[in-house]
Amino acid sequence: MEARTLGRTAVPVTALALGTAPLGGMFRPVPEDDARATVDAAWDAGVRTFDTAPQYGAGRAEERLGTALRGRPRDELVVCTKVGRLVVPRDEGEGGGVGIFADTRGRGVAFDFSADGVRRSLEASLERLGLDRVDVLHVHDPDDHLDQAIAEALPALLELRDEGVIGAVGAGMNAAGPLARIVRETDVDCVLLAGRYTLLDRSGADYLLPLCAERGVSVIAAGVFNSGVLLDPRPGATFDYAPASDDVLARAARIGERCAAHGVATATAAMRFPLRDPAVASVLIGARSADEVRANAAAFAADVPEALWKELRPLSHPDGARA
């Protein structure tokens, strides 16, 4: 599978990466055997980039990923995790988004974007992963902690990079504006942008993607299905984890119709679209089963005719989140 390096680093990421939030039990439990089979199927499909976080199941996704990767050639894989939330006993947690994960086994998460918190988070992640290093470390959703993340967490990550402890520094969010501020004010190598550069919402292209291209910062595109509405635009479908508006449902249905007219799966177009921008290095897709991985990998490998891209552009609202 094609690989590209992140920013000015030597860290290679495959064009398709596996996200492990579902393996942490997002919305519903995933059996241990299914979690292992999911990672195995990704490896067999040529995926060598794996994304996780302490938030995902309060550490469970990291544990499962580490178990599944054990024995794989370490120099052939890239492991990305995140900082900003520490895994703690449930009664010491602050929410931190862990409530959407099933069976966290009495654990929760607490926000911590301090320099000390960054190092403690990395140490704990390495223990759960069973690794001696991770390749990419992102600040994770610092929405309400942005000033502290820029003043404390990111400088600590940059020190770890300069010390050779990690290979690349990034920041992951659902909003393009704060990521643009991070790119302007810090020396990150990459950003993980979720849901803001998709067939439905290309608002990330307004200023974040051009800024990243100008600064030599790579983009990892996530949330390309906008939480499912692109693949199944029926009433009750969700757009970014909330009920989709009538306009979003209508545009998603028209996107599906245009794809079908060209004999292209909507999933193929959704996954291939971000890579048309030179700033995008990888597309991150979560999965909870081997079958999902195989289906996504097959869709990702399919071709998309240029004529379809031209027909889809008018349906990609410049700010789909407010449409």
Domain-located, residue 23 = yes
Least confident of 53-62, 182-191, 193-202, 313-322: 313-322
Q: Which domain holds residue 209?
A: 3-223+268-306
At 321 the pLDDT is 41
Please, what is the average pLDDT of the chain?
A: 95
Domain-located, residue 252 = no
Domain-located, residue 296 = yes
Q: What is the DSSP letter of 125?
A: H
At 140 the pLDDT is 98
At 317 the pLDDT is 62
Q: Per-residue pLDDT for 318 more than 80?
A: no
Question: Cα-flanking dihedrals φ and ψ of residue 203, to 5°?
Answer: -65, -25
Please provide the size of the chain in residues.
323
Helix (H, G, I), strand (E, B) or coil at 290: helix
Q: Per-residue pLDDT for 320 more than 90?
A: no
Q: Per-residue pLDDT for 174 more than 80?
A: yes
Q: Per-residue pLDDT for 323 more than 70?
A: no
Compute the average pLDDT of residues 186-208: 96
Q: What total of structural domains would you count in the chain?
A: 1
Domain-located, residue 231 = no
Q: Quote the CA–CA distance of 264 and 24 in Å, as a whole number.
A: 31
At 82 the pLDDT is 98
Least confident of 63-77, 196-210, 234-248, 265-279: 234-248
Catalytic residue, from 56, 197, 207, 241: name it: 56
Domain-located, residue 100 = yes
Q: Per-residue pLDDT for 145 more than 80?
A: yes
pLDDT band (50, 70, 90) for residue 275: very high
The tens digit of pLDDT for each residue in 114-124 reads: 999 999 999 99
CATH code of residue 149: 3.20.20.100
Least confident of 54-58, 60-64, 315-319: 315-319
pLDDT band (50, 70, 90) for residue 242: confident
What is the dihedral angle through the alpha carbons of 251, 255, 257, 261, rounded to the nearest 10 degrees? Answer: 150
Compute the average pLDDT of residues 264-274: 97
User: What's the one-letter identity of residue 319?
Assistant: D
Helix (H, G, I), strand (E, B) or coil at 105: coil
Q: Per-residue pLDDT for 94 more than 90?
A: no
Q: Per-residue pLDDT for 316 more than 90?
A: no
Q: Per-residue pLDDT for 137 more than 70?
A: yes
Compute the average pLDDT of residues 261-266: 97
Domain-located, residue 321 = no
| Non-local CB neighbours of 168 within 8 Å, separated by 6+ positions | 6, 7, 9, 11, 135, 136, 137, 161, 189, 190
Domain-located, residue 234 = no
The tens digit of pLDDT for each residue in 15-36 reads: 999 999 999 999 899 999 999 9
Residues of the chain above pLDDT 70, percent: 98
Compute the average pLDDT of residues 153-159: 98
Q: Per-residue pLDDT for 302 more than 80?
A: yes
Respond yes or no: is residue 207 known to be catalytic: no
Q: Per-residue pLDDT for 86 more than 60?
A: yes
Compute the average pLDDT of residues 97-110: 91
Residue 120 in tokens: 């403690």
Domain-located, residue 256 = no
